Amino acid sequence: MDGTDQPSDSELRPARWFHLEGTERRGPVGIEDMREMVLEGSLLPDSWVWADGMPDWLHVRDVPALVPPRALRVTLPAWPDEPAD
Query: Sheet of 58-59: strands edge to edge?
Result: 24-29, 17-21, 48-51, 58-59
For residue 83, the model assigns a pLDDT of: 56
Q: Is residue 38 part of a domain?
A: yes
Domain contains 3: no
Which is nearest to 15 in space by CA: 26, 1, 28, 2?
Answer: 28
Q: For residue 3, what pLDDT is reported?
A: 55
Q: Which CATH number fits the domain that encloses residue 42?
A: 3.30.1490
Q: What is the pLDDT of residue 74?
A: 86
Structural domain including 23 reads: 9-73
Q: What's the rounded Cα separation, in Å, for the pair 66 and 18?
A: 12
* pTM assigned to the model: 0.79
pLDDT at 31: 96
Backbone angles phi, psi at 57, to 5 degrees: -70, 145
pLDDT in the model for residue 14: 85
10-residue mean pLDDT profile of the chain (85 residues): values are 54 86 96 96 96 96 95 86 55
